[in-house]
């Protein structure tokens, strides 16, 4: 069976379906996005199946094994709602992507640094592309005289 990441609607995550999680949103907007993840209407007090829950599936991608096991116990014990699980996912995303979010915020606040990083990447890409193009031309028998 093919594995894929679930989107906020429980289907395969896809930008075209607009069911992705933008980890670079400001905290308030990110939390709102997490809280909008589709869940069923199982009451708070009733045990829940973590293996069929989108929130648990996403949490499992970013949390450590001990935290995943603890969340599983909470689901199975009952008295634990999807709002609690979504909050746990929100906190796990903030922790897991902390460095990337900080770097993103720094670059977005400093357009000159962002442009310098883009130029650096463009030079690397150009060097690799030229090497590949030379190899292709050589293998095809095309030579250029400059």
Give pLDDT, residue 81: 95
> Residue 12 carries which DSSP code?
B
Give pLDDT, residue 141: 86
The residues near 94 (Cβ < 8 Å, ≥ 6 apart) are 27, 30, 101
**How many CB atoms are closer than 10 A to CB 146?**
2
pLDDT tens by residue, the chain, 146 residues: 557 898 999 899 999 999 999 999 999 999 999 999 999 999 999 999 999 999 999 999 999 999 999 999 999 999 999 999 999 999 999 999 999 999 999 999 999 999 999 999 999 999 999 999 999 988 898 876 55
Residue with tokens 């499992």: 60
Question: What is the pTM (predicted TM-score) of this model?
Answer: 0.80
53, exposed or middle or buried, with CB in 10 Å at 0-12, 13-18, 19+? Answer: buried
Give pLDDT, residue 3: 78
């Amino acid at each position: 069976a093919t594995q894929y990441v679930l989107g906020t609607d429980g289907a395969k995550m896809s930008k075209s379906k607009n069911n992705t999680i933008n980890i670079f949103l400001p905290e308030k907007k990110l939390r709102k996005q997490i809280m909008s993840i589709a869940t069923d209407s199982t009451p708070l007090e009733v045990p829940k199946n973590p293996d069929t829950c989108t929130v648990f599936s996403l949490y499992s991608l970013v949390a450590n094994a001990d935290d995943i096991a603890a969340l599983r116990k909470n689901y199975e014990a009952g008295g634990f709602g999807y709002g609690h699980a979504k909050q746990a996912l929100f906190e796990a995303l903030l922790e897991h992507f902390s460095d990337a979010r900080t770097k993103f915020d720094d670059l977005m606040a400093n357009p000159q640094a962002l442009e310098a990083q883009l130029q650096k990447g463009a030079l690397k890409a150009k060097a690799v592309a030229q090497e590949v193009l030379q190899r292709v031309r050589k293998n095809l028998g095309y030579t250029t005289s400059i």
